[in-house]
Amino acid sequence: MMSEASPRVVSLLPSATDIIAALGAQDLLVGVSHSCDDMWSHLPVLTSTLIDKNASAAEIDAQVKSQPGPLYALDIDQLETLAPDIVISQDLCDVCAVPSGDVEDALQSLSSAPALVTLAPFRLADIPDCFAQIGLVIGQVGAAETLQDRWRAALAPYRDCFIDYGLSIAFLDWLDPPFAAGHWVPDIINWTGCRSALAQAGQPSHEITWDAVRDSGADIIMAACCGQSEHTAHAAGQTVPDDLHVHILDGAKHFSRPSPTIMESMRYFADTIEALRA
């Protein structure tokens, strides 16, 4: 049961941690995931992964496909010690973070009986709803409304900004093998007046072939590999066929996190389009 004092919050995904910080409520955090930014390293880490993040893109893909069980482990003993009132998880992608079903099962054994908050933003418009969802449960409703206003103001200048160009964009979130970026990424592309050449908004990312990328007729091919910096992703970029030019972007803090960072991702996307057209 949640205490009447300020709630003790555990965030099991980077986007939730981003949102809590943007709400000015970072002091409520008592634990984070292994994927959260280094700035939270002073807090207990509640998750670990079975995937070798230092492996090549192809090796990581093979590990994910060959793993028969969960890709992540949750530290139940440390959760019990922390006695959180709220645990925030996700129900979007089993590859990206601990699924909410696994978290719900684990929480049954905790004496603190924390509330489980599950985020599942499939579309661009769902992301500010997550601000409100978290703001409500942690007592930051006003801050969430202010953050939603910031979101609308940040995205407004980019609405149909490239509509006169008639550009088709092929956007990937993995390179070896190639994956078409789904969920909110096609919304980002379409918001600016460009056309998403490979994926429909709201649908999961999916593996494709380089022939499919060619056949898409895209004017520009971009890649922001999920959870990887631009520098890390460049290694996988060596596997791209010679006749295709892929512009590699930072996928560690941009595009892959359904959080306030998408405001900056929209600017990053637009600036990249402008630079490529210059």
Q: What is the 3-state secondary structure (H, E, C) of 73-126?
A: EECHHHHHHHCCCEEEEECCCCCCCCEHHHHHHHHCCCCCCCEEEEECCCCHHH
Band (3; pLDDT cuts 50, 70, 90)? very low
- The per-residue pLDDT for 5 is 72
- The per-residue pLDDT for 1 is 43
For the residues 85-89, what does the mean pLDDT come to?
95
Do the domain assignments include residue 90? yes
Q: Please say which residue of 154, 170, 196 terminates a domain.
A: 154
Residues 70 and 95 in one domain: yes
Residues 133 and 270 in one domain: no
The pLDDT tens digits for 206-264 are 999 999 999 999 999 999 999 888 888 988 888 999 999 999 999 988 999 999 999 99
Band (99; pLDDT cuts 50, 70, 90)? low
Q: Residue 243's domain spans which residues? A: 159-277
Task: Give, as one character, the DSSP assignment of residue 244.
Answer: -
Q: Please say which residue of 137, 154, 171 terminates a domain.
A: 154
Percent share of the chain, pLDDT over 70: 95
- The per-residue pLDDT for 97 is 58
- The per-residue pLDDT for 207 is 97
Q: Please say which residue of 111, 134, 154 terminates a domain.
A: 154
- The per-residue pLDDT for 111 is 85
For the residues 78-97, what does the mean pLDDT come to?
83
Q: Is the pLDDT of residue 4 over 60?
A: no
Do the domain assignments include residue 3? no
- The per-residue pLDDT for 103 is 81
Q: Where are the alpha helices (DSSP H) in the chain?
A: 14-22, 57-66, 76-82, 100-107, 127-137, 141-155, 185-191, 210-215, 230-237, 261-277
β-pairing verdict for 195-196 and 86-90: unpaired
Residues 171 and 252 in one domain: yes
The total of structural domains in the chain comes to 2
Percent share of the chain, pLDDT over 90: 73
Question: In one letter, which amino acid is 222?
Answer: M
Q: Which residues pair with 117 in a beta bridge?
A: 88
Residues 81 and 206 in one domain: no
The pair phi, psi for residue 233, each rounded to 5°, is -65, -25
Do the domain assignments include residue 2? no
Residues 120 and 193 in one domain: no
Q: Which residue has the tokens 């494709």?
A: 208
CB 199 within 8 A of CB 182: yes
Q: Is the pLDDT of residue 71 over 60?
A: yes
The pLDDT tens digits for 167-187 are 999 999 999 999 999 999 999
**CATH number of the structural domain spanning residue 246:** 3.40.50.1980
Residues 124 and 167 in one domain: no
Residues 110 and 187 in one domain: no
- The per-residue pLDDT for 2 is 47
Question: Going by C-beta distance under 8 Å and a sequence separation of 6 or more, which residues neighbour residue 147?
Answer: 19, 22, 23, 128, 131, 135, 260
β-pairing verdict for 168-175 and 246-248: unpaired
Residues 195 and 239 in one domain: yes
- The per-residue pLDDT for 95 is 62
Do the domain assignments include residue 208? yes
Measured between alpha carbons, how far apart are the two ends of the chain, in Å? 57
- The per-residue pLDDT for 234 is 86
- The per-residue pLDDT for 66 is 86
* Whole-number average pLDDT of the chain: 92
Task: Give, as one character, the DSSP assignment of residue 250.
Answer: -
pTM for the structure as a whole: 0.92
CB 270 within 8 A of CB 189: no
Q: Is the pLDDT of residue 112 over 90?
A: no
Task: Give, as one character, the DSSP assignment of residue 156.
Answer: G
